[in-house]
Amino acid sequence: MIKNNTSEIIKKHRLKLTKALGQNFLTDFSVVKRIVDASDIDKDTLAIEIGPGVGSMTRELAARSAGVAAIEIDKRLIPALNDNLSDYSNVSIINEDIMKADIDTIINKYREVYNAKSVKVVANLPYYITTPIIMRFLEEVKGVDKMVFMVQREVAERMVSGPGTKDYGALSVAVQFYSKPEIIFDVPPHCFIPQPEVHSTIIGLDILSEPPVEVIDRNLYFKIVKASFGQRRKTLVNALSNSGFFNKTKEQIKQILKEMGKSENIRGEVLTVAQFAQLSNLMINEHQKD
């Protein structure tokens, strides 16, 4: 039976965890098991683990999957990982920065090595760089079926929030454009070494094969989303016209909103993912008329 040996490995290798890298390692194996349960990993799955630490969750992933590609930025942890995972022949440790690594190449290589049919990503993410990592996988990486992340509770709440709520923002729209997010369970601070100052949440993202809305220009779509939430207290008309992203007058934007059946006084925070798509497409269509 696999057990959590995080504390033993840290002590054995005399490791000092680095606050700058956001290192908070899980010590509660029941939490590790629930995370892997939530990932739906099986013997046909390549598991991509970001930040394996000393490999406690990696062991559970290896026991259930076709193989694991574990990407760890901290070279000081590599000897501990090799030691802790020595019983598993289906784990490949990659000492790289996840924000710089060629993830598509890694996925393609190890999918073939382990003869995997699906790809799942699992990670206890450093809180200081959570959003950039998630957005990189959503926007740039191909072939992933599901992602299960440990994130700060507030970030998880933002990802699942809907229009008109205080947590709804650009991250909500982006995550829901690419995936179907679901909060799975919370993890209290005492489950970690060292204990973080915040509560954590496990969130699952089922990656959509196609976005839920049709968008003519994805770049324009996200510019509109960014501008809409960049000045939350302003009306959508003012936020868009003041952003510098668009060559539209306030009157033209008001006309587009009228076509959508929306008041010129609405704010971006009330628009759904679909309505942002409608607005984006109408901006292009109006431009073609000019």
Binding-site residues from annotation for S-adenosyl-L-methionine? 24, 26, 51, 72, 97, 124
Give me 48's structure tokens. Answer: 């991509």
Give me 57's structure tokens. Answer: 């969750």
Q: How far apart are CA 80 and CA 78, in angstroms?
A: 5
Q: How far apart are CA 117 and CA 87, in angstroms?
A: 24
Beta strands in the chain (DSSP E): 25-26, 45-50, 67-71, 91-94, 118-124, 146-152, 179-187, 192-193, 200-207
Tokens 């046909």 map to which residue?
A: 44
Contacts of 21 (CB under 8 A, 6+ apart): 73, 74, 126
Whether the bond between 194 and the residue before it is cis, its omega within 30 degrees of 0, is: yes
Q: How far apart are CA 237 and CA 259, in angstroms?
A: 14
Is residue 159 within 8 Å of residue 148, measured between CB atoms? no
Is residue 186 within 8 Å of residue 199, measured between CB atoms? yes
91-94 and 118-124 beta bridge pairing: unpaired
DSSP designation for 269? G
Q: How far apart are CA 189 and CA 21, in angstroms?
A: 17
